[in-house]
Structure 1
Amino acid sequence: MSDQPGAHAEPAKPHHQSFWLWVMCLTGVDYFSTLGYQPSIAYENAGLLAPLATIVLVLVTLFGALPIYWYVCGRSHGGQGSIGMLAKLVSGWGGKVLVLTLLGFAATDFVITKTLSGADAAVHLITNPNWPLEVPDDDEKTRQAIYVTGFLLMLLGASFMRGFREVIGLAVVIVGAYLLLSGIVIGAGVAHLVKHPEAFHQLIEHIRAGEWYLKESERPLAGTGLFTIIAISLIIFPKLALGLSGFETGVAVMPLVKGRPTDDPKDPKGRVANTRKLLITAAAIMSVYLVCSSVVVACLVPPEHLVKVNAAGAERDGVADKELKAKDRALAYLAHGENREGKLLPFFGDEFGTVYDIATVIILWFAGASAMAGLLNLVPQYLPRYGMAPEWTRATRPLVLMFTVINLIVTVIFRANVDAQSAAYATGVLVLITSGCVASVIDIWQRRTGRWYSRLCWPFLLITLVFVYTTIANVFEKPDGIKIAAFFILAILVTSFWSRWARSRELRFAGFKLPDAESRLMWDTIRDLELTVLVPHRPGRRSLANKEGQIRREHRIPRDLMIVFVEVELDDTSDFVNEPELRVTREEGRYVVKITGAASIAHTLAALALEMAKVGRPPEVHFGWTDDSPVSGTLGFLLFGEGNVPWMVRDLIRRAQPDESKRPLIIIAGTA
């Protein structure tokens, strides 16, 4: 606010808003692009039980994730998503660490989105018959995949370095074309199965006989009965969690959704309603595509082209990755007419398959662009505000360069292998959805009144437990996901706290809020004094009269020089930049400046003195001596906003004001 001393914040520029169906395509470049690899990953993890496990996934999508994010978008309409909700519900250092940990999982999600999408795009290019380079063996295939993935990631980074912007119109074209082509492939498969149900009947017989093409080590239960099959499908479905990736992105694009002209910016009901339409439509489309693609792939793609195990689950010897023609590209395999039933449509073949490959590569590349945009939006929103990142992290180009290097390192580590990265991707997705569940349960609990069982949202609690189980099961089955997430979390925590320590002596002042006209009038009065003497005071320890008598005696302050007492009340000391409330009152004939909502006593006092120095003669700030040791004083300053306050105030003022003639004078004396 311009009428507040020290305020400097500028209002954020409003986003260009569009029809919700078009904005859905921004979600779709991430969500729908998973069809490029999801059907084959589902088969690899569930074998012929993939359709059943996919149905479980769809049920969890429609009756679990969708209701949760229906609620989240109503409570986080600024696009902050589950992390933003939790950030509002928690405070203190524990809350900051929780948010930083979730940022680590979000970074895992977004980074692996880019590297996994690029790796799958490379698979579609390398396996295309028009690919100019020969691929004689698995080592050469891996080498080419790394090179192609790296090129796509560098191209992505270069696009953002030049000022890339998410263009909704381009996303509409890309998603529309990809869904149309995928719909043709999947629809042709479904139509074929309707006309020729023998393949579907054969699938049922294989399932009944226990011939699932599922590794023996991954069969958690013995038997082939109906209940055993259902139980195994329930246990297996967390491995298919890639199909849940669109919800956090769906909430993140909320600022771009056009609402009603009458929407209240603080409660845009029209925008919330349209975002909920977006979520429902995206989930419905994806559910249909997931179920139908899993059935078509299980029925029409030969198992020997997808997995290295036989019907009983035993490893087949001497099978090279090159022989798995449908691996990571099951729908493209059908589009090229390579399936055992022959071409599903007359025009399927290399030409149509190449068109489908190009569409797949484009949407996968654009999914990486969406993830990059998500990271560029997420990092400046939290880390610099928490004081846990240097100011350069607000700039786009350094961040793009840093993330591009990380992408290339991850690609080399995982050898551009889609399946190897799927666990980390699923882990990031599931943790973010689980955090959304937890945030929703806590938020509803705080908003309701009454006995504990009436305040608890039981349906959301049940959904939360489902996602907690799903997350734990995914981590247990594929620990690589939590390992890569732990690396990102550790990197964020270490660099964040190092940055917080390095930036601790920044003034970090966003201005004072003056709540009433009386405070404003008295604030102007004390600032216009010929010389203002500020004395920090902690209420409750001694009376103002006692404090004044002692400070005048020890500091030799004349009786005719007025003292202004300052009382600072700390709020959340883990906050970095805050905007405390300043109220000026008169007590016992003395001026008292009461400041509430502060994050640090030293920063608040330094900011107050510097604000006064802008009008007339710089004030004097008188302190009593402190017995804190250097170590305890520094730790108290960094963690609790207190510590060796006099020395910290002096240091902050010296750093913030290079002109000695304009610096407030810090005086330390006595034993008080």
Structure 2
Amino acid sequence: MCLCGVDYFSTLGYQPSIAFEGAGTLAPLATLVLVLVTLFGAYPVYSYVAGQTPDGVGSIGMIERLVSGWKGKIGVLVLIGFAATDFVITKTLSAADAAAHLISNSIFAGNAPPWAHNQVVMAVVLLLLLGAMFLKGYSEVVGIATVLVIVFLGLSFLIIVSGLWHLLTHPALLQQWFAEIASGSYHLHEAPLEGQGLWVALGISLLIFPKLALGLSGFETGVLLIHLVRGSDENPDDEQARIANTRRLMLTAALIMSFFLIGSSLVTGTNTIIPADELRMEKDDAGEILFKGKALDRALAYVAHGESPLAVSPLFGPIFGTIYDISTILILWFAGASAMAGLLNMVPRYLPRYGMAPEWASAYRPLVIAFTVINLLVTWAFKADVTAQGGAYATGVLVLMTSACIASLVHMQHEASAGVDHHPLKRIAFALITLVFIYTTITNISERPDGIIIASMFIASVLVISIVSRVWRSQ
């Protein structure tokens, strides 16, 4: 769970900030919608996918099996492009946010050389270290990821519970938040609905929750890495036990993350413990930063350092904040581990079918080096900007989730036609879930098309490499 969860849980490093940017003080309500979609949408779908793909091919493999011929191959190629986008941006965005935490730390800033104060430079350093770690193999990564997840979640739990306790023992703060929502003051650049009151606030939350879609990451990685999950004690290779344990893993991770998402949004997204201005950034027409809030991209760390104008806990301050920064930086760094593992599992499985020489696609160390180079190029292109990469990341996540929904629904229909009993209500439920994810994906792409552009580049790259491989082998 920790190797998959390191991707999922690490989003706490930047998700509260992105949630406030997208939903303002409606972040807790929009996050609640996101959690409901996670538990009653994403989890049931990926539970079904796990049951159909114990070999670890995931939703992409389901699509390939359901659609034959070139249509199926083209569909798989497109999904590989989006999967590559998801996995690569996972690494680059996480490294960028880790770098933001690092250079914002007062102890680091006071002792590091001048070149280390640059966010792009530090993101590059972290990505190089991750690539070096993976050159040593899976086992080291899995062991370290387990420790990091436990420490990071423990410290995050302490921060969130302290913040929630402060809100409960100072009811005037929550009353202030309720009053802002009731008056229509959401700290949004542009609300999709006009008006005031709770129903308007709920309506806006339903419409804008796709902007928080980064909180859905991790499920595709979970089914791709199913081969790492043990079966039963008697037979570690027991397929049915492996499926059951994978489902248990995903549900446990989803329930844990649901608490952290809702709790962190209440602590950071109500304009109480963290002032709204500390979570915003202003740029000029040339893209240069005019103002950047201290809590941007590091909302929980802002609280941990005792930077809040409110005395949340006597424990919080530079020392505790630095300890939390270290755990956050490490888990964000290792979020790339699950993404790298997903890529290394996916590439040898599919690319030989598109003309790439099997020995090229299955060469472990060259693949690690190639992906590390790609990570560095993406980091340079986005200038290690967390917000700028958010749209591309969300697009990759949502397209894969939508494909999983469609594949599951079509597979159910095929089984029903073949006489396999699936309750009609289950198919209706999956159809509704599919519609929700289609809406979420379209909304995200229309507002932030970066993901489509990057995915297209990956698809084109696969085609070019495949053509070159075919020509090389024909000579």
Whether the 8 Å contact between 1:142 and 1:415 is mirrored in structure 2 is no
Q: Which residue of 1 aligns with 2:240?
A: 269
323 and 431 in structure 1: CA distance in 2 versus 1, 3 angstrom threshold? closer
| Larger RCO of the pair (alpha carbons < 8 Å, separation 6+) | 2
User: Does 2:245 correspond to 1:280?
Assistant: no
164 and 70 in structure 1: CA distance in 2 versus 1, 3 angstrom threshold? closer
Select 1:461's aligned residue among 431, 439, 447: 431
Q: Which whole-Å CA distance do the structure 2 matches of 1:295 and 1:423 have between them?
A: 23
Superposition deviation, residue 99 in structure 1: 0.6
Q: What does 1:206-355 align with in structure 2 at a 5 Å threshold?
A: 206-216=180-190, 219-260=191-232, 268-298=239-269, 299-308=272-281, 323-342=292-311, 344-355=312-323
237 and 412 in structure 1: CA distance in 2 versus 1, 3 angstrom threshold? same
263 and 467 in structure 1: CA distance in 2 versus 1, 3 angstrom threshold? farther
Q: Which whole-Å CA distance do the structure 1 matches of 2:138 and 2:4 have between them?
A: 17
Superposition deviation, residue 45 in structure 1: 1.1
Whether the 8 Å contact between 2:152 and 2:327 is mirrored in structure 1 is yes
SS in 1 for 2:344: helix
74 and 406 in structure 1: CA distance in 2 versus 1, 3 angstrom threshold? same
Superposition deviation, residue 249 in structure 1: 1.4
Select 2:343's aligned residue among 353, 360, 375: 375
Superposition deviation, residue 493 in structure 1: 3.0
Q: Which residue of 2 aligns with 1:411?
A: 379
SS in 1 for 2:295: coil
* Structure number, greater radius of gyration: 1
Superposition deviation, residue 454 in structure 1: 5.5
SS in 2 for 1:384: helix
Bigger shift: residues 482-491 or 100-109: 482-491
Whether the 8 Å contact between 2:224 and 2:345 is mirrored in structure 1 is no
Count of aligned pairs: 468
User: Does 2:469 correspond to 1:499?
Assistant: yes
Q: Which residue of 2 aligns with 1:49?
A: 26
User: Does 2:58 correspond to 1:81?
Assistant: yes
Amino acid at match of 1:339: S
Q: Which whole-Å CA distance do the structure 1 matches of 2:290 and 2:10 have between them?
A: 23
Superposition deviation, residue 464 in structure 1: 0.6
Superposition deviation, residue 86 in structure 1: 1.2
User: Does 2:393 correspond to 1:393?
Assistant: no
Whether the 8 Å contact between 2:148 and 2:327 is mirrored in structure 1 is yes
Q: Which whole-Å CA distance do the structure 2 matches of 1:160 and 1:289 have between them?
A: 29
Superposition deviation, residue 183 in structure 1: 0.2
Select 1:178's aligned residue among 152, 174, 198: 152
User: Does 2:330 correspond to 1:358?
Assistant: no
Q: Which residue of 2 aligns with 1:198?
A: 172
Superposition deviation, residue 322 in structure 1: 5.7
Q: Which whole-Å CA distance do the structure 2 matches of 1:227 and 1:257 have between them?
A: 44
Whether the 8 Å contact between 2:183 and 2:197 is mirrored in structure 1 is no
User: Does 2:459 correspond to 1:489?
Assistant: yes
Superposition deviation, residue 162 in structure 1: 4.0
91 and 141 in structure 1: CA distance in 2 versus 1, 3 angstrom threshold? farther
Whether the 8 Å contact between 2:280 and 2:292 is mirrored in structure 1 is no
81 and 205 in structure 1: CA distance in 2 versus 1, 3 angstrom threshold? same
Q: Which whole-Å CA distance do the structure 2 matches of 1:142 and 1:210 have between them?
A: 43
Select 1:160's aligned residue among 127, 134, 137: 134
Whether the 8 Å contact between 1:40 and 1:326 is mirrored in structure 2 is yes
Superposition deviation, residue 133 in structure 1: 5.8
Q: Which residue of 1 aligns with 2:440?
A: 470
Amino acid at match of 1:332: A
Superposition deviation, residue 405 in structure 1: 1.3
SS in 1 for 2:157: helix
Superposition deviation, residue 359 in structure 1: 0.1
SS in 2 for 1:258: coil
Whether the 8 Å contact between 2:348 and 2:358 is mirrored in structure 1 is no
Q: Which whole-Å CA distance do the structure 1 matches of 2:346 and 2:418 have between them?
A: 37
Select 1:130's aligned residue among 107, 120, 135: 107
SS in 2 for 1:214: coil
SS in 1 for 2:107: coil
Q: Which whole-Å CA distance do the structure 1 matches of 2:471 and 2:66 have between them?
A: 25
Whether the 8 Å contact between 1:308 and 1:319 is mirrored in structure 2 is no
Q: Which whole-Å CA distance do the structure 1 matches of 2:116 and 2:444 have between them?
A: 26
| Stretches of structure 2 lacking an aligned partner (at least 5 in a row) | none
Superposition deviation, residue 387 in structure 1: 2.8
323 and 142 in structure 1: CA distance in 2 versus 1, 3 angstrom threshold? farther
255 and 26 in structure 1: CA distance in 2 versus 1, 3 angstrom threshold? same
295 and 319 in structure 1: CA distance in 2 versus 1, 3 angstrom threshold? farther
Q: Which whole-Å CA distance do the structure 2 matches of 1:297 and 1:321 have between them?
A: 23
Q: Which whole-Å CA distance do the structure 2 matches of 1:473 and 1:166 have between them?
A: 39
Whether the 8 Å contact between 1:448 and 1:455 is mirrored in structure 2 is no
Amino acid at match of 2:451: G
Superposition deviation, residue 490 in structure 1: 2.2
205 and 410 in structure 1: CA distance in 2 versus 1, 3 angstrom threshold? same
Which TM-score applies when normalising by structure 2? 0.92
Whether the 8 Å contact between 1:105 and 1:431 is mirrored in structure 2 is yes
Q: Which whole-Å CA distance do the structure 1 matches of 2:109 and 2:292 have between them?
A: 19
Deviation string 1:48-106 (CA, Å, 9 cap, x unpaired) is 11111101100100110011011111111112111111121122111111111101001
Superposition deviation, residue 169 in structure 1: 3.2
Which TM-score applies when normalising by structure 1? 0.66
Q: Which residue of 1 aligns with 2:6?
A: 29
Q: Which whole-Å CA distance do the structure 2 matches of 1:321 and 1:405 have between them?
A: 31
Superposition deviation, residue 128 in structure 1: 0.2
Q: Which whole-Å CA distance do the structure 1 matches of 2:256 and 2:22 have between them?
A: 23
SS in 1 for 2:367: helix
Greater strand content: 1
Whether the 8 Å contact between 1:449 and 1:455 is mirrored in structure 2 is no
Q: Which whole-Å CA distance do the structure 2 matches of 1:114 and 1:168 have between them?
A: 16
Q: Which whole-Å CA distance do the structure 1 matches of 2:448 and 2:77 have between them?
A: 23
Q: Which whole-Å CA distance do the structure 2 matches of 1:69 and 1:205 have between them?
A: 39
Q: Which residue of 1 aligns with 2:400?
A: 432
Superposition deviation, residue 501 in structure 1: 5.6
Greater helix content: 2
Deviation string 1:409-462 (CA, Å, 9 cap, x unpaired) is 111110100000011110001111111111101111111138999699111111
48 and 141 in structure 1: CA distance in 2 versus 1, 3 angstrom threshold? farther
164 and 450 in structure 1: CA distance in 2 versus 1, 3 angstrom threshold? closer
Superposition deviation, residue 36 in structure 1: 0.3
User: Does 2:125 correspond to 1:148?
Assistant: no
Bigger shift: residues 219-228 or 469-478: 219-228
Amino acid at match of 1:94: K
Q: Which whole-Å CA distance do the structure 1 matches of 2:10 and 2:372 have between them?
A: 21
Whether the 8 Å contact between 2:354 and 2:463 is mirrored in structure 1 is no
User: Does 2:88 correspond to 1:111?
Assistant: yes
404 and 133 in structure 1: CA distance in 2 versus 1, 3 angstrom threshold? farther
Amino acid at match of 1:260: S
SS in 1 for 2:316: coil
Q: Which residue of 2 aligns with 1:651?
A: none
Whether the 8 Å contact between 1:263 and 1:269 is mirrored in structure 2 is no
Deviation string 1:515-545 (CA, Å, 9 cap, x unpaired) is xxxxxxxxxxxxxxxxxxxxxxxxxxxxxxx
Deviation string 1:616-657 (CA, Å, 9 cap, x unpaired) is xxxxxxxxxxxxxxxxxxxxxxxxxxxxxxxxxxxxxxx9xx
Superposition deviation, residue 399 in structure 1: 1.2
Q: Which whole-Å CA distance do the structure 1 matches of 2:339 and 2:13 have between them?
A: 16
